[in-house]
Amino acid sequence: MSNPIPRVLLLGGTTEASRMASVLAEAGVEAIFSYAGRTENPLPQPLAQRIGGFGGVDGLAAYLRENAITHVIDATHPFAAQMSRNAVCACAQTGVKLLALERTAWVPGPDDDWRSVDTLEAAAAALPPAPGRIFLAIGKQGLSAFATRPEQFYLLRLVDAPAFPLPLPNTEIVLDRGPFTLANDLALLRRHRISLIIAKNAGGEGARAKLDAARALRLPVLMISRPALPARESVATPQAVLQWLAHGAALGV
């Protein structure tokens, strides 16, 4: 009796998810790429796509059943904690197999000037009392945490222009999409006379150029630690995911 052919739900939105989509498509794996819908013009993918939320754990569990999903690959951003928690619970409810494609967290080197904080609010509280020029490299989610520090100048780098007024009065926005380069980030920090960087510990290579630039310019970094997630199996490469899928399934890899 042959093993079942997997039908995969890929929870995406990251550079790693796009790479995973290409690997799945090349391997002929039937898969659906799911975007959360926070980006106005998401990158096209070589898989069937869906955009938007599921409606919590119950909604995701219903989707898995209705679409005969056998495997879920969680390749969301490390700070998309609620989606990852929902995936753990929904897969446990339905018996669907779950694997996280997880970026390795960034670690400071001997020449880095990092201070770790647990939350956005803690990062805002840790800002120096004197007005500075801050590269707030956290995306557009959670900006309200810094409304308590309106005396600071904030540089934001976003994929899409914000649809609503920002809660920060002294802000400049740069529209750009990664991956970013060291040369460009050095130029960005110099041009805007940045004195401090606030970043989430997203890991990976696509957005680490700002940290290399901070080291080169001897700038301090407030690094927000990753949120805690339930225990789950994880790997670091698309090839490892493909091997996981092939184990016990009808894949020619």
- What is the H or E stretch that residue 207 is in? none
Number of structural domains (the chain) is: 2
Average pLDDT over residues 194-198: 98
Please indicate, yes or no, if residue 65 is contained in any of the structural domains: yes
On whether both 100 and 122 belong to a single domain, the answer is: no
Provide the CATH number for the domain around residue 211.
3.40.50.720
164 band by pLDDT with thresholds 50, 70 and 90: confident
Q: Which residues span the domain enclosing 176?
A: 114-224
Residue that has been written with the tokens 């980006």 in this structure = 39
Phi, psi of 114 (to 5 degrees): -110, 145
On whether both 60 and 82 belong to a single domain, the answer is: yes
Instruction: Find, among 7, 5, 25, 86, the residue nearest to 53 by Cα.
Output: 86
Residues listed for the chain: 253
Examine the pLDDT at 249 and tell me if it is beyond 80: no
Per the DSSP assignment, residues forming a β-bridge with 100 are 74, 234
Residues with Cβ within 8 Å of residue 41, at least 6 apart in sequence: 160
Average pLDDT over residues 103-108: 92
Examine the pLDDT at 150 and tell me if it is beyond 80: yes
Average pLDDT over residues 81-105: 95
Examine the pLDDT at 250 and tell me if it is beyond 70: no
On whether both 120 and 204 belong to a single domain, the answer is: yes
252 band by pLDDT with thresholds 50, 70 and 90: very low
Residues with Cβ within 8 Å of residue 164, at least 6 apart in sequence: none
On whether both 60 and 158 belong to a single domain, the answer is: no
Average pLDDT over residues 118-146: 94
CA 248-12-56 angle, 5° bins: 90
Please indicate, yes or no, if residue 210 is contained in any of the structural domains: yes
On whether both 197 and 170 belong to a single domain, the answer is: yes
On whether both 198 and 143 belong to a single domain, the answer is: yes
On whether both 219 and 234 belong to a single domain, the answer is: no
On whether both 53 and 127 belong to a single domain, the answer is: no
pLDDT number for residue 159:
86
On whether both 140 and 208 belong to a single domain, the answer is: yes
55: tokens are 């409606």
**In 48-157, where does DSSP find H-type helix?**
56-66, 81-94, 120-125
Each residue of 27-76: pLDDT tens digit?
Answer: 999 999 998 866 666 778 999 999 989 999 999 999 999 999 999 999 99
Please indicate, yes or no, if residue 2 is contained in any of the structural domains: no
Tell how many helices (H) and how many strands (E) occur in the chain. 7, 12
